[in-house]
Amino acid sequence: ATYISAAEDVLSSISHQFNVDDDCLFNITKAFLREMAEGLANYGYPMAMIPTFVTSIPDGSEKGTFLALDLGGTNLRVCEVHLHGDQTFNIRQKKYKVSDALKTGEVTTLFDYLADSVDAFLTESGSPSCALPPSLARRESNDGSLDDDADRPYIPLGLTFSFPVEQTALDSGRLLTWTKGFSAKNAIGKDVVKLLQDAFDRKNMHVRCVALVNDTVGAHLSRAYASGGCILGAIFGTGTNGAYVEDITKISKLGNSISGAEGGFMIVNTEWGGFNNSRSALPSTSFDNKLDRESINPRKQAFEKFISGMYLGEVTRNVIISLIDTAPKALLFSGHSSNQLNKQWGVDTALLSEIEEAWVGIGRFAPKETNGTGTMNGTETGADTIDETNRAHITKQPCSDLEKLERIRGVIVKRMELPSGVVSLDDAYVVRRICTLVASRAARLSACAVAAVLVQTGRARLPKEGVERGVAPLVDEGKCIIVGVDGSLIEFYPHFGKELRASLRVLVGEEVESRVDIGMAKDGSGVGAALCALVAYRLN
């Protein structure tokens, strides 16, 4: 009992630090809107607001077969996507490993490998039945002569390239910087579509890269295809980012370079992971500061470090270690630690999910007879709405809090590699509370990003704002507001979507929130790239 009361004191202090009250949410959303405006007007801001040159949104009637290539992390994926034109699709895909040598070697070697992977995919599975019109197919070779093999059909390919790229057209963009462990030489500043096309041409492959998309834009397009429209695509995975539909006239940094006719719009890739790098609005704790200081990009991607899968485990680890180190009496694990806990990044965000699942009895802790229904995995052809209802039918077995804590204790012993004898049920209680604090804060902050997009696009207003600005009617009043999301955090973390919605309700009011339909964007990078390839195809 004394232990718990000491732990409660510490927990209440930590809980106070992680608490983001409603006023704080409003202030963050307002700061978000200011940074969006800055990024729309200027180049070079951390929240880059990158114009994507995608100026039409799918409605589900799109048809065709396209290749897609997805480079953005550990694996490279080649997919063949069949869009059926009725909001459904089939996808056939193969993953290829990208070795560290490729990630850090000469860029042409990396892109030759991409081309080889596409070649291997086509050899194994046969060419898809799609061809390009001659205007796209006939292209000049490097020596300026026209390709004399042009009557052989070219296969159109969309490239999903999830690194910061300054896009200059639907089919060109310069790499600004590598992230996620890539550092291939002689790539920065180069047009990645040209790098890929040159690799296809070196191998005399009849494949043409016609479109370049970011994974966030892919999520947006894929949800739009499946649902007949979408205003925001958002990723809550390793990182976080969002892409939304903006009036072209508001992207003032484009100047006259693109038609700003009334009603014209373009998807903007916000790069919102870089929001508030000054941290003037974000509620930093000492645990966040430690993470930031020890990261490879201090003072950068501030918002992302509060929200995404790459970081939540590490913030949690920092809190846990601080409680192991509490003097004179350790407040966790009797002062024991482990190699796993002592390692930077030693706690994966998936472990936070596992602890929460153990508490609520879903996922791998679901009762046997309804096993496998606790996640949001759905069909390939539709979007799954995140409202927790797909978990509601799970009949939870009556389970006492002690039994739940016992399950959590088991997870901690196994995943944190601690000797069983040093982890008590009280420890399990404290660890779960920490995980909840870290994840809830992430979900609440995520709501600010969604709310800011709704306000920016005229679909919502923050309280009092209507009075100050005069009450202009909301855009699409009464209509469903479709948001597509992707990423392990929102897909698998219990209640992440529900908590995000609760904070969104605080920010934009119940009426607007009730019209927001947040659903998974299935196979965003493949389907999104295919849809972009189709747009390019139509433009030619």
Q: Nearest approach, Cβ of 311 to ligand ADP (angstroms)?
A: 8
490 sits in which H/E element = helix 488-492
Binding region for ligand ADP (CB under 6 A) out of 149-157, 298-306, 321-329, 346-354: 346-354
Q: Which of 179, 270, 349, 503: binder of ligand ADP (CB under 6 A)?
A: 349
Residue 158 and residue 69: Cα distance in Å, rounded?
6
Residue 248: phi and psi, rounded to 5, are -60, -35
Q: Which of 350, 376, 506, 539: binder of ligand ADP (CB under 6 A)?
A: 350
Task: Output 266 or 310, the one with its CB closest to ligand ADP.
Answer: 310
Task: Output 156 or 363, the one with its CB closest to ligand ADP.
Answer: 363
Q: What letter does residue 520 receive in the DSSP assignment?
A: E
Q: Nearest approach, Cβ of 487 to ligand ADP (angstroms)?
A: 4
Residue 330 and residue 327: Cα distance in Å, rounded?
6
Q: Which of 51, 309, 346, 528: binder of ligand ADP (CB under 6 A)?
A: 309
Number of residues forming the site for ligand ADP (CB under 6 A): 14
Q: Nearest approach, Cβ of 320 to ligand ADP (angstroms)?
A: 16
Residue 272 and residue 284: Cα distance in Å, rounded?
17
Task: Output 191 or 356, the one with its CB closest to ligand ADP.
Answer: 356
Q: Nearest approach, Cβ of 4 to ligand ADP (angstroms)?
A: 28
225 sits in which H/E element = helix 215-227
By CB under 6 A, the residues from 413 to 442 that bind ligand ADP are none
Task: Output 210 or 351, the one with its CB closest to ligand ADP.
Answer: 351
Strands 265-269 and 50-51: antiparallel
Q: Nearest approach, Cβ of 77 to ligand ADP (angstroms)?
A: 10
Residue 206 and residue 148: Cα distance in Å, rounded?
12
Per-residue contact flags (x/-) with ligand ADP for residues 213 to 252, judged by CB under 6 A: ------------------------xx--------------
What secondary structure does DSSP assign to 241-268, as a single string?
EEEEEEEGGG-GGGTTSS---TT-EEEE
What is the amino acid identity at position 377? Answer: N
Task: Output 156 or 309, the one with its CB closest to ligand ADP.
Answer: 309
Which residue in this structure is represented by tokens 């002689």?
Answer: 186
Cβ neighbourhood burial of 190 (10 Å; 0-12, 13-18, 19+): middle
277 sits near ligand ADP (criterion: CB under 6 A): no
Binding region for ligand ADP (CB under 6 A) out of 13-21, 224-232, 349-357, 387-395: 349-357
Q: Which of 211, 310, 362, 453: binder of ligand ADP (CB under 6 A)?
A: 310
Task: Output 31 or 212, the one with its CB closest to ligand ADP.
Answer: 212
- Neighbouring-strand partners of residue 75: 97
Q: Nearest approach, Cβ of 312 to ligand ADP (angstroms)?
A: 7
Task: Output 107 or 235, the one with its CB closest to ligand ADP.
Answer: 235
By CB under 6 A, the residues from 471 to 510 that bind ligand ADP are 487-489, 492-493
By CB under 6 A, the residues from 353 to 412 that bind ligand ADP are 353
Using DSSP's 3-state secondary structure scheme, residue 167 falls into strand
Q: Nearest approach, Cβ of 93 to ligand ADP (angstroms)?
A: 14
Give the ranges where 397-457 is alpha helix by DSSP (H): 401-415, 425-456
Q: Nearest approach, Cβ of 75 to ligand ADP (angstroms)?
A: 9
399-406 own/partner pairs: CB under 8 Å, 24+ apart: 399/361, 404/358, 404/359, 404/361, 405/429, 405/432
Binding region for ligand ADP (CB under 6 A) out of 222-230, 343-351, 391-399, 414-422: 343-351
Task: Output 32 or 492, the one with its CB closest to ligand ADP.
Answer: 492
Residue number of the CB atom closest to ligand ADP: 237
Q: Nearest approach, Cβ of 274 to ligand ADP (angstroms)?
A: 16
By CB under 6 A, the residues from 51 to 110 that bind ligand ADP are 73
Task: Output 246 or 357, the one with its CB closest to ligand ADP.
Answer: 357
For the chain, the C-alpha Rg in angstroms (whole number) is: 24
388 contacts 495 by C-beta, under 8 angstroms: yes
Using CA atoms, how far residue 251 sits from 44, 312, 492, in Å, is 14, 33, 35
Strands 232-236 and 481-486: parallel
Q: Nearest approach, Cβ of 493 to ligand ADP (angstroms)?
A: 5
Residue 90 and residue 69: Cα distance in Å, rounded?
16
Task: Output 507 or 527, the one with its CB closest to ligand ADP.
Answer: 527
Task: Output 238 or 276, the one with its CB closest to ligand ADP.
Answer: 238
110 contacts 192 by C-beta, under 8 angstroms: no
What secondary structure does DSSP assign to 331-397, as a single string?
SSGGG---HHHHSTT-S-HHHHHHHHHHHHT-GGGS-GGGTT-SS----SSSPPB-SSHHHHT--PP
Task: Output 175 or 435, the one with its CB closest to ligand ADP.
Answer: 435
Whether residue 328 has a cis bond before it, omega within 30° of 0: yes
Alpha carbon of residue 236 to chain centroid: 4
Interacting residues toward ligand ADP by CB under 6 A: 73, 237-238, 309-310, 348-350, 353, 487-489, 492-493
